[in-house]
Chain A
Amino acid sequence: MKKIIFMMIMVVLVTAVLTPAVMAKETLVISTWGYNEDLLWKNLYTPFEEKYDVNIELEVGNNSARLNKVRMRGGSVVDVIYLAESFAIEAINNGLVAELDREKIPNIENLYEVARKPHGEKYGPAYTLVNLGIVYDKNAVEKPIESWYDLWRDDLEGMISIPDFNTTSGPVMLIMSARKAGTTIHGDIDKAFAELEKIKPNIVKNYSRSSELANMFAQGEASVAVALDFAFFRIKDAVEGATWLNPVEGSFASFNTLNILKGSDNKELAHKFINYAISKEVQAKMAHDKVESPLNMQVKLTEEEAEGLTYGKEFIESLNTIDWKEVNSNKKEWMDRWNRMFAY
């Protein structure tokens, strides 16, 4: 009994001594993915903590799980949130995102035009982008793939894995089906789905995680996939003939954005964080470590340094984009249609 009381006193004392020391500094809570956490601490979080004498706390998880948490709590706790474009729109539509004071983020001017205001003047910038194209095993296909439309080829029966509709790259196949049918997703969506249906015999599975996709390639379940470039690097490790393709119609850009949430008590600091995250200094370090493709135009990379990154004004501007507003407003109906189609 004495021991327990002693322990309890110790706990109280230690907490009492430590708390003020921690509390004295401002704490910025950031909601983000768990990838490359070590490199993010090295290049961004720790230098930021030191520069402004603050603490950074992370809330880690995938887009939907984190967004859900924020929604459940009514927006508080988290100050800055990293989200893929589609989920950022979702957050904005749900009234969770605070308006941005662009004057406090001068570095926005140094970003590529496409990255400055992906969701309008009031909301946060994109800080990086991921390239969305085609990965295939050149040893497994009869002739090389060059176009999005090659995916409909008969010789690819049962060889392709495409992203599930509800992932950040999901709508691409619908967009390309629409284009192939001579329309757009704003136009005749029935035609688009009819075209998509024609590719069904070629599809092994809709995948939802990039680790799953890498495994499918390794096991010979899939030899072609519509994928984000970081999935390609994993696949390349497993399959010798893995090849990245930017199709002739162009790849797609998938932007990741930074936003401040309503209910943040540290709006000043949050602005500083976003400004720092898109600064030349941080973006260059991230690029050198191959963590993120830079969107700050001042970052100059040699060909070697740019390898594996989505880099260069011309290339970035040539990428297709996904109209997430249109997709999100039809998501329920389209996803349902998509799932039912692939279920039979």
Chain B
Amino acid sequence: MKYRLHYLLLIPAILFLILFLVIPLFITLLSTVRTDGGWTLSRYPVFFQDFYLRDIYFRTLKIAAITTLAAAVMGFPTSYYISRTAKKYRGIYIILAVFPLLTSPVVRSFSWMIILGKNGIVNDFLVRIGFIGEPLNLLYTEFSVIMGLLYLFLPLMILSLVGVMENIDSELLRAAESLGASRLTAFLKIVLPLSLPGLVIGASLVFTGSLTAYTTPMLLGGDKTQVLSTLVYKNALALFDWQQASLVASIMVITTFTVVISINWFSGKFNRGEAG
């Protein structure tokens, strides 16, 4: 009896989520398939038949995917290093890694404008060493958006990975080596599979965040790098077209769900394959 009561503690959080997340989400999704007299799914194909909107959709997807991949590649070694250092230093490293999260996205984006601008640090350096003659157009491109997002979301990847990697028993590695596995094999056969849950969580967070980020693409992107979130903003707050805004929002939600579930499914398969 006492044990069952524990579940009651979940009620406030569940109520909150149902009231402020599930129901509004449901209403939004519903509004995209309702017409005056009945139901229709036709708005979705209409969206994708429009080359302009389709381009925005795939651009957003591409930016989010590249950011996630880059965050995984950069985050993995960093996290591994942090998880293997002595406990007393780990806190400091984590604070350093999380530091970007402590400033607002606007400030961060403005800082990137200073770094990537025509008079910016990068261009200044490249011109000075004679690598290029004229400053490059780095800002207002997909590149600058990805840089901004990567900087923004890398900490989430690192945090998720460190949490999991910390619990990998280093005895396992020693055991593998003593049984004749090379360091690389030990890493691939032990560390990588055991870190997978962290990688899945990190990738889901980074992907979702990048797909839905607004400030960064708005400030670091240009007219040619519109993404779904800026499209929602334009529809909702410039045209007051909530119908279309809901449609785009629903497409974003469905995409996120699909991708996150796929990542989970693949990692599950991968893990089982390893075990077998």
For B224, what are the chain A residues with a Cβ–Cβ distance below 8 Å?
A: 342-344
Q: How far in angstroms is the closest Cβ of chain A from B223?
A: 4
User: CB-defined interface of B4-24 with A at 8 Å, one 1/0 digit per residue?
Assistant: 000000000000000000000
Please report the C-alpha to C-alpha distance between residue A160 and residue B269 in the assembled complex, in whole angstroms: 52
For A331, what are the chain B residues with a Cβ–Cβ distance below 8 Å?
A: 238-239
Please report the C-alpha to C-alpha distance between residue A212 and residue B120 in the assembled complex, in whole angstroms: 15
Tell me whether A343 and B52 are in contact (CB under 8 A): yes
Tell me whether B223 and A343 are in contact (CB under 8 A): yes
Q: How far in angstroms is the closest Cβ of chain B from A169?
A: 13
In the complex formed, the residue of A with least CB distance to B114 is: A219
Can you report 28 A-B residue pairs in the complex whose CB atoms are below 8 A from each other?
A64-B237, A68-B240, A90-B240, A158-B137, A166-B234, A205-B223, A206-B223, A215-B113, A218-B117, A219-B113, A219-B117, A219-B118, A219-B120, A219-B139, A220-B117, A220-B135, A221-B113, A221-B117, A331-B239, A332-B239, A335-B238, A339-B223, A340-B52, A342-B224, A343-B52, A343-B55, A343-B223, A343-B226
- Given known contacts A68-B237, A166-B239, A219-B113, what 10 new A-B pairs fall within 8 Å (CB)? A64-B240, A205-B140, A208-B218, A218-B119, A220-B117, A335-B238, A339-B223, A339-B234, A343-B52, A343-B224
Give the residue of B120, B234, B236 whose beta carbon is less than 8 angstroms from that of A335: B234
Tell me whether A339 and B140 are in contact (CB under 8 A): no
Asked if B177 is at the interface (CB within 8 A of a chain A CB), the reply is no
Tell me whether B110 and A215 are in contact (CB under 8 A): yes
For A335, what are the chain B residues with a Cβ–Cβ distance below 8 Å?
A: 234, 238-239
Please report the C-alpha to C-alpha distance between residue A220 and residue B241 in the assembled complex, in whole angstroms: 36
Please report the C-alpha to C-alpha distance between residue A344 and residue B56 in the assembled complex, in whole angstroms: 11
User: CB-defined interface of A209-246 with B at 8 Å, one 1/0 digit per residue?
Assistant: 00010011011110000000000000000000000000
Given contacts A215-B110, A219-B113, A220-B118, contact A332 B237 (CB under 8 A): no
Tell me whether B110 and A64 are in contact (CB under 8 A): no
Asked if A65 is at the interface (CB within 8 A of a chain B CB), the reply is yes
Most chain A CB atoms below 10 A, which of B114, B119, B139, B222: B222
Please report the C-alpha to C-alpha distance between residue A220 and residue B52 in the assembled complex, in whole angstroms: 30
Binding site for A on B (CB under 8 A): 52, 55, 110, 113-114, 117-120, 135, 137, 139-140, 218-219, 222-224, 226, 234, 236-241
Asked if A204 is at the interface (CB within 8 A of a chain B CB), the reply is yes
Asked if A203 is at the interface (CB within 8 A of a chain B CB), the reply is yes
Please report the C-alpha to C-alpha distance between residue A279 and residue B241 in the assembled complex, in whole angstroms: 38
Q: How far in angstroms is the closest Cβ of chain B from A215?
A: 5
Tell me whether A332 and B118 are in contact (CB under 8 A): no
Please report the C-alpha to C-alpha distance between residue A339 and residue B113 in the assembled complex, in whole angstroms: 23
In the complex formed, the residue of A with least CB distance to B120 is: A219
Contacts between chains A and B (CB distance < 8 A), count = 63
Q: How far in angstroms is the closest Cβ of chain B from A73?
A: 15
Most chain B CB atoms below 10 A, which of A65, A204, A208, A221: A221
Please report the C-alpha to C-alpha distance between residue A64 and residue B241 in the assembled complex, in whole angstroms: 12
For A219, what are the chain B residues with a Cβ–Cβ distance below 8 Å?
A: 113-114, 117-120, 139
For A339, what are the chain B residues with a Cβ–Cβ distance below 8 Å?
A: 52, 223, 226, 234
Tell me whether B238 and A205 are in contact (CB under 8 A): no
Please report the C-alpha to C-alpha distance between residue A42 and residue B224 in the assembled complex, in whole angstroms: 44
For A205, what are the chain B residues with a Cβ–Cβ distance below 8 Å?
A: 140, 222-223
Most chain B CB atoms below 10 A, which of A166, A219, A339: A219
For B114, what are the chain A residues with a Cβ–Cβ distance below 8 Å?
A: 219
Give the residue of A212, A332, A344 whose beta carbon is less than 8 angstroms from that of B219: A212
Please report the C-alpha to C-alpha distance between residue A221 and residue B219 in the assembled complex, in whole angstroms: 13
In the complex formed, the residue of A with least CB distance to B59 is: A343
Please report the C-alpha to C-alpha distance between residue A130 and residue B241 in the assembled complex, in whole angstroms: 28
For A68, what are the chain B residues with a Cβ–Cβ distance below 8 Å?
A: 236-237, 240
